[in-house]
Amino acid sequence: MSMTRWWRFFIRLVKTLDLSDVETYSDLPTERSNHLRVSGVVESMESAAIELGPFVMSERLTTGGMGEVWRGRHRSQDVDVAIKVITSSRASSPEYQSRFRREVQAVAQLSHPHVVSVYDCGLLPWLAAERSRGLLVARSPYLVMELSLIHI
């Protein structure tokens, strides 16, 4: 594609953007990796972040039969963490929550290079569920653990 055609394409693309909510150019995002594009609206990850005690949940990494795993960060220690939220229908059962807590406590006592460290666990607060915009359910059990990304 020639430079002239590229510029024409770029100008047409810019004209299609709805920037009515942007008051100045300083309101536009400057770092692509820290912003989401949702329905044509640019939204900062900081405003979409879900606070969970000292942790901030930033993005869903994967889902499974029992729940979801989110990437998070410990605010004061500046450490990446994995946050597993149980989303199955049994998650609201007090018996299930009690068993989940006992399992978390058992795993937290393990110390081995091939076992991730457990940092925290609890029930998802109402505010965190609200900030997730329907992705998470309040009072779901969660587990915060060391983030271990394996590249194969």
Superfamily of domain 49-146: Phosphorylase Kinase; domain 1 (3.30.200.20)
* pTM for the predicted model, two decimal places: 0.65
DSSP state of 73: E
- Contact call for residues 128 and 64 (beta carbons, < 8 A): no
Listed in sequence order, the residues at least 6 apart from 59 whose beta carbon sits closer than 8 Å to its beta carbon are 45, 70, 71
Domain positions in the chain:
3-45, 49-146
Phi, psi of 139 (to 5 degrees): 70, 15
Report the distance separating Cα 53 and Cα 66, nearest Å: 23
pLDDT at 139 over 80: yes
DSSP-assigned letters across all residues of 104-140:
HHHHHT---TTSPPEEEEEE--HHHHHHTTTSS-TT-
User: Does residue 22 or residue 111 have the better pLDDT?
Assistant: 111
The pLDDT-based confidence of 93 (bands split at 50, 70, 90) is confident
Per-residue pLDDT averaged across 113-141, rounded?
90
